[in-house]
Structure 1
Amino acid sequence: MKRLNRDQMAARVAQDIPEGAYVNLGIGLPTLVGNHLPRDREIFLHSENGILGMGPAPLPGEEDEDLINAGKQPVTLLPGGSYFHHGDSFAMMRGGHLDICVLGAFQVSVEGDLANWHTGAPDAIPAVGGAMDLAIGAKQVFVMMEHLTRSGESKLVKQCSYPLTGMRCVSRIYTDLAVIDVTPEGLAVREIIPDLSFEALLDMSGVPLIDKR
């Protein structure tokens, strides 16, 4: 079984972002999505530190130290893009002006609860930051994560054991094994990678899944 690598996961997420969407890409894995957006679609990337109209990552040697995303990574600015005070940026997030946010996760529950900022580790970041504003403010929340932890435990859980970022906020989950929608009936599997059966995915996930392929 050949799992999707991180760039393949990012490309799969990018396929589902429609023309004209205003999108925030969270810190970590989701930042890769910006490098795979279809060139024939106009998509407006937002960063919570105050950018609208981000482009892909700059080429080596072309970085601008004054132009970074919320994860402090160098970014580019497309023609017509702008940067502004982070207070205005959070007003966009909290005001429901983002169509989609793409976030990483430690756990997602069967009801769409999201835990993505703290595992209880002593050296963890001290606060949730803007993730809770994105999780609640965006019209759709896409989660991009590996299906299993390094120790082989499912990140899909009946109930999150880590501190929550948002409750019942996740719309769709993209992993290295599958694409799964959060629905009122439960977690609905839309796609599975080749050479992996639904039964095997179900066994690895450890939570009820509905086959909707």
Structure 2
Amino acid sequence: VSSLLPANLLGALPSKCRIQPDGRIVTLATAIIDSTESGYLLVRMNANGQLDTTFGSGGVVLEKNNQLPSDLALQATDNKILVSGIYDFFVDQGFFVHRYNNKATSVKETRLNVEAVRLFPNPAREQATVQFTLEAPLRLQMDLIDLQGRTVSAVTPMRAWEAGTHAYTFELPQMPAGLHWLRLRDEKGCAQVVPLTVAPR
């Protein structure tokens, strides 16, 4: 990956690699942008090792704003690329999932304007409570998704929430124990995802 770095980067630390069904190779790396900012790189190569110029900008996608990647996966249903990790915008921290199509455009889920999201108890067994703060009224829906991004259970339909702090308790369906995500999403498709560990019953 180091030989493919954009000119304005100090360096990159590759961490994950996945091979798509057509043989194309996707690599994820933490990007060191400067002394105060980091991000991540997605690089896709054809099966012959050449950059896939149909992906991103010449085969490379650079995401900035202190988004630190932790995992890379291929979505089982449509082979879209999933990148998860944490972000730190100095005044706001949280967990993100970005989803890319085969050209690294149009389907990336952007950060939702919801503050101070927390889940408790976590791990949870039969029910959990999500608490969050809105600076302005917003229509949101919530659902539980698995590690492949598939919906496991609908938590709330799309509905209006007033500005302020909310706490919403929901039941957990019969589902495998382990790590899942609670996804909050607005009508524009902007999403925020919070990890939820389901305990054995």
The answer to whether TM tops 0.5 is no
Relative to its length, the structure with more strand (as a share) is 2
Relative to its length, the structure with more helix (as a share) is 1
Question: Larger relative contact order (C-alpha < 8 A, sep ≥ 6)?
Answer: 1
The structure number with the bigger radius of gyration is 2
TM bin (shorter chain): under 0.3
TM-score, structure 1 as length reference: 0.26
